[in-house]
Amino acid sequence: MPLLFEMYVERDSPIHRLDPRVKLLWFLCVMICAAIVNSAVPASIVLLWIIGVAASARLPLKRLLLLAQALVYMIVVCVLMWPLFVKSGSVLFKWDWLVVTNNGILVGIGIGFRIASMILASAVIFMTTTQKELIESLRTLKIPEHFVFASVLALRYIPSLMGEWNAIAEAEACRSPSRGRGPVATIRKVFAMRSHAIPIMHRTAKMTTELSLALDSKGFNPERRPTPYLELTTRNSDRAFAAVSILFVSVYVALRFLLMPQQMWIEIY
């Protein structure tokens, strides 16, 4: 999984140009839609909606295919696993204790699509929105500054700490026995990571101390909300996109809870 800062794809697309707050609203709508359905058809419509947005963002096919490959594996696992638990619906196959029903298959596909939707929607957000825009939208949405700044630091220092970790791992490898290849070697390597604890804790503590000094020296005050340097503006296209997203989620909520509850949500037992 690439790091977040590596995920952003620079493009001049309608989705890139959207106000990040509208994209977050869309993301929320997608999450609601995906969460309230478990059947294959409604879940596939949500997935198609996200694919449509990804296509409008002109995201690189190579990267999307890499992601799609992982998602297909996950959907296959869901389709194989869920029929074992779903007992409702007409029986398609029966052998000893194993009973596979049509509902089991539909739910398997539905849950697979649901998880795929959530992952793909997150990827679309990170591939079309800079971290800075995301952070600034959190600020304008009045999320507490403690949380916002902690997110900034987390995003900023992930690569630094990974760099530290890699340097420690390299230093350790220079003085370690050969651990060979294969699964046993992997387990040995994981156990060997115990020795990384001392240097990584030492380095992190040092970095944290220096960071707090640097923050204080720049007049950082967690009680104070800073002037947002990045100006977020909402245009008609943003309003239209937001309206469509809200309409979509409203229709889904109505179908799920009022109009077609059985088609949208299959009872497992």
Partner 1 sequence: MENVVEIRGLCFKYEDTEASVLNDVNLKVREGEFLGIMGPTGAGKTTLCLCITGLIPHTVSGQLAGEVIVAGMKTSEHTLYDFVPQCVGMVFQDPESQLFGLDVEEDVAFALEYEGLPRTEIRKRLQWALNVVRLDGFEERFPYFLSGGQKQRVAIASVLASRPRVLVLDEPTSELDPIGKGEVFRAIDDIRRTFQCTIIVVEHDTEDLVRFADRLVVMNKGRIALEGRPNEIFRRGSQAQTLGVKPPQVTELGYLIHDQHMSEWAEYGIPLTIEEARDRLLRALEKRDASLGKYAVHEHPLDARKDEPLVEAKDLWHIYGLGTEREIAALKGIDLAIHPQDFVAFIGQNGSGKTTLAKHFNGLLKPSKGSVLVNGRNTKTASVSELSGMVGYCFQNPDHQIFNTTVYDEIAYGPRNLRLSKEQLHDRVLEALRAVGLEGYEKLNPLFLGKGERQKIAVASILAMHPRLLIVDEPTTGMDWRTLTTMMNLIKHLNESGMAVVFITHNMEIVAEYAKRIVVLFDGKVILDGSTGWVFSQPDLLMKALIAPPQITQLAQTLKSYFRPDTLSVRDACEHLRLLSRGGTNNAVAL
Interface residues toward partner 1, by CB under 8 A? 5-6, 60, 130-132, 135, 152-153, 155-157, 159-160, 163-164, 167-168, 170-179, 195-196, 198-199, 202-203, 206-207, 210-221, 224, 226-229, 231
Indicate the residue among 142 and 224 with the shorter CB distance to partner 1: 224
231 secondary structure, DSSP code = P
CA–CA distances in Å: residue 108 to residues 48, 80, 167, 206, 217 = 17, 7, 43, 49, 55
Q: In angstroms, what is the minimal distance from the CB of 249 to partner 1?
A: 30
Contacts of 198 (CB under 8 A, 6+ apart): none
Indicate the residue among 84 and 173 with the shorter CB distance to partner 1: 173
Q: In angstroms, what is the minimal distance from the CB of 57 to partner 1?
A: 16
Q: What is the CA radius of gyration of the chain?
A: 24
Indicate the residue among 54 and 148 with the shorter CB distance to partner 1: 148
Q: In angstroms, what is the minimal distance from the CB of 214 to partner 1?
A: 4
Indicate the residue among 95 and 177 with the shorter CB distance to partner 1: 177
- 3-state percent helix, strand, coil for the chain, nearest multiple of 5: 70, 5, 25
Indicate the residue among 58 and 87 with the shorter CB distance to partner 1: 58
Q: In angstroms, what is the minimal distance from the CB of 244 to partner 1?
A: 30
Q: In angstroms, what is the minimal distance from the CB of 135 to partner 1?
A: 7
**HSE, side-chain direction, 13 A CA sphere, residue 242:** 14
Cβ atoms < 10 Å from Cβ of 200: 17
Contact 266, 106 (CB under 8 A): yes
